[in-house]
């Protein structure tokens, strides 16, 4: 079932790029990111509260909380950079270059999570890197 959520994520990410490019055209990219963040905050907390999942807050370890906070910082910085790139670049170039994160994630998962690198994964990552270089140059 993970692949269904991954495909939905890719679909919504594609919509995000299109909608963001249109939305950021007339305002500051940081303001656009802040507005987007409020919407995400409301949706995420609405889901948590509707499903009665807030009770899990009390059982969060410091370790989990630290890494969720770090993930939030990384997400915020990513969005700020992404919206700025969309504001000044073409969405057809910015979005694919942003997906270089896939290849970087593969590398970082090997280093920090000790995940094995398969030939299929390595070839896929190299193709992503190659495609990114084609778009940049």
Domain limits, the chain: 2-89, 99-137
DSSP state of 137: -
Residue 117 CA, distance from chain mean position? 22
Q: How far apart are alpha carbons 112 and 121 in whole angstroms?
A: 17
Task: Dig out the tokens for 72 from the structure.
Answer: 């939030």
> Could you write out the DSSP letters of every residue in 13-60?
HHHHHHHHHHHGGGS-HHHHHHHHHHHHHHHHHHHHHHTT-GGGGGG-
Local confidence pLDDT in tens for the 137 residues of the chain: 899 999 999 899 999 999 999 999 999 999 999 999 999 999 999 999 999 999 989 999 999 999 999 999 999 999 999 999 999 999 988 988 998 999 999 999 999 999 999 999 999 999 999 998 998 88
């Amino acid at each position: 079932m993970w692949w269904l959520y991954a495909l939905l994520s890719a679909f919504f990410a594609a919509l995000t790029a299109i909608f963001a490019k249109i939305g950021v055209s007339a305002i500051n990219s940081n303001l656009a990111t802040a507005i987007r963040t409020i919407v995400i905050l409301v949706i995420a907390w609405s889901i948590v509260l509707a499903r009665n999942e807030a009770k899990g807050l009390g059982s969060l370890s410091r370790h989990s909380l630290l890494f969720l906070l770090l993930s939030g910082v990384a997400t915020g910085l990513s969005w700020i950079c992404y919206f700025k790139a969309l504001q000044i670049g073409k969405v057809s170039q910015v979005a694919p270059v942003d997906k270089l994160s896939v290849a970087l994630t593969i590398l970082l998962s090997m280093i920090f999570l000790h995940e094995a690198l398969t030939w299929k994964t390595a070839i896929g990552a190299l193709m992503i890197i190659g495609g990114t270089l084609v778009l940049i140059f």
